[in-house]
Structure 1
Amino acid sequence: MSKAPAQALIVDDEADIRELLEITLLRMGLGIRAAGTVREARALLAEHHFELCLTDMRLPDGNGIELVSHIQKKHPGLPVAVITAYGSAQAAVESLKAGAFDFVSKPIDLTQLRKLVDTALKLKRESAAGDGGLLGNTPVIEALRALIDRLARSQAPVHITGESGTGKELVARLIHTRSPRADAPFVPVNCGAIPAELMESEFFGHLKGSFTGATRDKAGLFQAAEGGTLFLDEVGDLPLHMQVKLLRALQERAVRPVGGETEVAVNVRVISATHKDLSQLLALGTFRQDLYYRLNVIEVRTPSLRERRDDIPLLTQAILVRLARSNGLPVTPTLDAAALARLCEHPFPGNVRELENVLERAVTLSDGGSILACDLQLRGDCVARSVAAPAAAPAAIGNDLEGQMEDIERRAIVEALATARYNKTRAAALLGMSFRSLRYRIKKLNIE
């Protein structure tokens, strides 16, 4: 017995638009039911199961936003796309915020419509699995995971904010890999790393001979991400002239290569990120307001490590396992209780990236064994105690000032050597001096 075709609901009060949509979707093998009002659409939704809904924005008894909101509440697994008037960017943004997974503008481009339908049908088959590297059990991480899953079902532009080192690119990748675009490319680009004079060519491509050095046609980042996701990291670093061109590409869903006379349609989802405050850049006039609202349809904030301290033990263990594997260590290094406690109380201004760097250094200093608090080399640890403790001890004030200073220095070096298990390289690091300088002082002070 052949499988029943997927069913689509078309909601539009214009007969010619409804007929165009029906013919297109029928040719794609879908079953069709149509409604001309919000009321009729709700009745059909209550009686039948659909894989996709296409609704016009303006309806006789309401609008598409109302229907999108109704579907989100009553049929949350149903992808719904909104048909908007030409150039109605605000309506498109409102529909995406309401929960629509995408929109299509009039006059309807059938190629774009078919891609939209294919994406919607994939949404019904997608299921997210695993945490994808987003480790943690704290409420802020659980909430972030849930938001990622919802965003993966949408085609809305997403803007990710957060401090450096909080995993903004990881969040963007998870949105991509859990979406129907997962089989297409994920193309990350650091906007601050591209020279201003090369930006247009890098983003949109160029034709042979379009400028000196253009010896062949070259596809841009938008073309490279066709069907997938383009991740614009540090988007706040874009110069104003590129902001204008990027805005047009997002609005028209097309790019014009340097030296080209026609635009090339692109099917790309854009996710942007920055550690800067874009609202401040708006006030300074260095970031366009229209581009800001186009990129920031949905905002995601990645939490700092200070907001999720209870996740530090879990993150630490995962990082140590990875470091042991990459360094070829026979066993995974472990932290003693004092070292773990020190990590959990550290403010981590560099967030997870700083935690990774601290542990990588500690693994190197510990020679792959147990990691002590001193091996972490966090501010205020070990070095300060090694040097300050002798100074705090009572000492007789005499005429032999140089001898007393040597005694203090000798005790500090001996304590550092003992802490470092007599590894001179580690002891030098703890004392904040070079290996050569430590070796000279050991010889000068006759330390065995």
Structure 2
Amino acid sequence: MRNTRALIIDDEPDIRELLSLTLLRMGMDCDAAADVGEAFTYLKDNEYNICLTDMKLPDGTGLDVVRYIQANLPGLPVAVITAHGNMDTAIEAMKAGAFDFLNKPVDLKALRQLVDAAVSSSQLQTSTNDEIDGQIDIIGESSAVLKLKSSIKKLARSQAPVYISGESGTGKELVARAIHKLGPRADQAFVPVNCGAIPSELVESEFFGYKKGAFTGAHQDSEGLFQAASGGTLFLDEVADLPLSMQVKILRAIQEKAVRPVGTQNEVNVDVRILSATHKDLNALVSKGEFRQDLFYRLNVIQLDVPPLRERREDIKPLVKHILSRLDSDLGDEHTSISAEALDKLKQYSFPGNIRELENILERAFTLCDHEKIGTEDLQLQAAILDDEQTGMPRASSTNHFKQALACGSIDAYLEEIEKEILLDALEKDRWNKTNAAKTLGISFRSFRYRLKKLDLDNQNDSEEN
């Protein structure tokens, strides 16, 4: 870490010496202050890549240092050192702008990991706004999106847990990935997990891993999600669906920065940044006793709200252009556009399913239209807003479908298998002639070709005469 400098603030000479020696061995230059006043003098006269401060100081607290740095040196990462188990203080510091925290007694390996991340974060400040914006894969230039991008850039520099709230389909995972991508952990793993998709009896082993022989079927050691994400970011999607019995164990893992694999008494240190999201109202769930208040408090250090599509209608046009371009590239030689009337219809639509619904509407229109310009009739917006009760259609029994979807691992995987079977049966019936198979199924040749491409079935030997 050549040409890097740290400021250490602690009133105990032994701690100052220990921290200084550790950072010196990492190749850093160090200054050490015994109180807040001395620290402010150093901060005014020097430039630093990281500041480490104890919480209890003779003439103030570490929070005073954090607030001073936020007001005067916002690009400087500052980490606080707290008494073991005093999470309220650590959370208060991160809410005030602290980069991260360390528990006493200080674990030197954890210290080195924190310093590496902090120095990387301070060096990220040299990137231009255009360079940073180019790495955020969020389409739109509305005021709501510009505000969201600004928040993402700021939060990427921190290690504080972020709770991402927003309706279904707004792109919460995309936001989480952007925070990870722009931060000092970008070169490490981003591990997303849908908390509601893991069977309750497997949650602990999935998150914490297990030792061989811990339970029936545990034929070898397996690392859990926390270990897989160590050094990087763990994204807890739909965190509201975590079983109550598991929430306290997740809380402990986050606070102690360690996990205990199933079947062992030994803890494994993990270094992860926690991002979480849900479309549910966590505050309401806490009030009902359905979500632990202490875990919510730990996850919701910083809250980031993702706006629904109806609050950023000016972004619909660039989103449509982006989605159609992606659909075209899937087929390789299409140049699909949308009529002005159809675009106006989309701008007037409420999009209860947000961007995910827009993608579904355009994909359906893309596959159904027989030409290269999507019109209002291709959008089928009325069909998009009707549910089973509105249509009056009887609901088929889903028992067998439900069981088979579970066996496939997800509903998407199951539906893909069904669609593959239908397409292949049609091709076989019509002697592998795609044009005839499309007519048999009552869909356009373009729609049939797109489905084959999407499901990787487009290499069949067949005749395609029209």
2:19 alignment partner in structure 1: 21
**1:349 is the counterpart of 2:347:** no
Q: Deviations over 1:395-448 (max 9, x none)?
A: xxxxxxxxxxxxxxxxxxxxxxxxxxxxx758xxxxxxxxxxxxxxxxxxxxxx
Could you tell me which of 283, 296, 312 is aligned with 2:316? 312
Return the alpha-carbon distance in structure 2 between the equivalents of residues 188 and 238 of structure 1: 14
8 Å CA contact 1:332–1:368 kept in 2: the answer is: no
Q: Distance in 1 between matches of 2:317 and 2:281?
A: 31
1:257 and 2:255 correspond = no
Query: Post-superposition, which runs of at least 4 consecutive aligned residues in structure 1 deviate over 4 A?
Result: none
Aligned to 2:145: 141
Distance 1:282 1:4 in 2: 48
CA contact under 8 A between 2:2 and 2:27: conserved in structure 1?
Answer: no
Aligned pair count reads 384
Does the CA contact (< 8 Å) of 2:135 and 2:181 recur in 1?
A: no
**SS of the counterpart of 1:218?**
coil
Match 1:336 to one of 319, 336, 339: 339
Is the 2:2–2:28 Cα contact (8 Å) retained in structure 1? Answer: no
Matches within 5 A, 1:87-102: 87-102=85-100
Aligned to 1:231: 235
Report deviation, 1:4.
5.7
Q: 2:107 aligns with which of 106, 109, 112?
A: 109
- TM-score between the two structures when normalised by the length of structure 1: 0.83
- Report if the CA contact (8 A) 1:305-1:351 is conserved: yes
Map 1:211-250 → 2, pairs under 5 A: 211-250=215-254
- Name the stretch that deviates more: 85-94 or 331-340: 331-340
Aligned to 1:69: 67
- 1:5-45 per-residue CA deviation (whole Å, 9 max, x = no partner) reads 31111111111111111111111111011111212111111
Query: Shift in Å at residue 332 of structure 1?
Result: 2.2
Single out whichever of 58-67 and 136-145 deviates more from structure 2: 58-67
Q: Which moved more, 1:302-311 or 1:65-74?
A: 65-74
Distance 2:49 2:287 in 1: 44
Counterpart-to-counterpart distance in 1, 2:96 and 2:336: 48
Give 1:73 shift: 1.5
- Residue matched to 2:211: 207
Q: What displacement does 1:83 show? A: 0.8
Shift of 1:132: 2.5
Q: In 2, are the aligned partners of 1:254 and 1:263 still within 8 Å (CA)?
A: yes
C-alpha distance 187-368 of structure 1, shift in aligned 2 (>3 A): farther
Aligned residue in 2 for 1:394: none
Match for residue 171 of structure 1?
Answer: 175
Q: Matched residues in 1 for 2:144 and 2:246: separation?
A: 35
Aligned runs of 1:27-106 on 2, under 5 Å?
27-106=25-104
Deviates more, 1:366-375 or 1:149-158: 366-375
TM-superposition CA deviations, 1:157-201 (whole Å, max 9, x none)? 111110000000000000111111111110111011101111111
The equivalent position to 2:366 in structure 1, one of 363, 366, 380, is: 363
Residue by residue, what CA displacement relative to the aligned partner does 1:310-336 show, whole Å, maximum 9, x if unpaired? 1000111011100100122x2321111
2:299 to 295, 313, 318: 295
Q: 1:131 to 1:139 in 2, by over 3 A?
A: farther
- Which residue of the partner structure matches residue 406 of structure 1? none
Asked if 1:272 is matched to 2:272, the reply is no
Q: 8 Å contact 1:192–1:237 — kept in the other structure? A: yes
Structure 2 counterpart SS, 1:348: coil
**Cα separation, 1, equivalents of 2:83 and 2:219:** 41
Residues 135, 182 of structure 2: 8 Å contact kept: no
Residue 209 of structure 1 and its aligned partner are, at CA, apart by 0.6
TM-aligned CA deviation for residue 82 of structure 1: 0.6
User: Which AA in structure 2 matches 1:29?
Assistant: G
Structure-to-structure mapping, 1:412-431, within 5 angstroms: 425=443
Give the counterpart letter for 2:368 in structure 1. L
Q: Distance in 1 between matches of 2:317 and 2:331?
A: 21
SS at match of 2:276: strand
Separation in 1 of the partners of 2:158 and 2:274?
Answer: 12
Stretches of structure 2 lacking an aligned partner (at least 5 in a row): 387-441, 445-466
Moved more, 212-221 or 32-41: 32-41
What is the Cα deviation at residue 368 of structure 1? 4.6
CA distance in 2, matches of 1:340, 1:367: 18
Shift of 1:129: 4.7
One-letter code aligned to 1:378: L
- Structure 2 CA distance for aligned equivalents of residues 425 and 241 of structure 1: 49
Aligned partner of 2:170: which letter? Answer: T
Provide the rounded CA distance (Å) in 1 between the counterparts of 2:443 and 2:53. 69
Alpha-carbon separation, structure 1, partners of 2:285 and 2:5: 46
Distance 2:285 2:383 in 1: 36
Moved more, 37-46 or 120-129: 120-129
Q: How far off its partner does 1:380 sit?
A: 8.0
Preserved CA contact (<8 Å) 2:136 2:149 = no
Q: Counterparts of 1:52 and 1:293 in 2: how far apart (Å)?
A: 27
- The answer (yes or no) to whether the contact 2:210–2:262 under 8 Å persists in 1 is yes
Query: Are residues 425 and 208 of structure 1, via their aligned partners in 2, closer, same or farther at CA, if it must alter by over 3 Å?
Result: closer
Residues in 2 aligned to 1:68 and 1:368: alpha-carbon distance in whole angstroms? 60
Contact 1:185 1:225 in 2 (8 A): yes
Calculate the aligned-residue CA RMSD, in Å: 1.8
- What is the match of residue 413 of structure 1? none
Deviation at 1:131, TM superposition (A): 4.6
Q: Give how far 1:282 is off.
A: 0.9
Which residue in 1 is equivalent to 2:377? 374
Q: How many angstroms apart in 1 are the aligned matches of 2:211 and 2:375?
A: 58
The 2-side partners of 1:291 and 1:157 are apart by 11
Whichever residue aligns with residue 54 of structure 2, its letter is D
2:328 paired with 1:324: yes
**CA–CA distance in 2 between the matches of 1:368 and 1:64?**
65
Distance across 1 between alignment mates of 2:186 and 2:151 = 17
Which residue in the other structure is 2:121 paired with?
A: 123
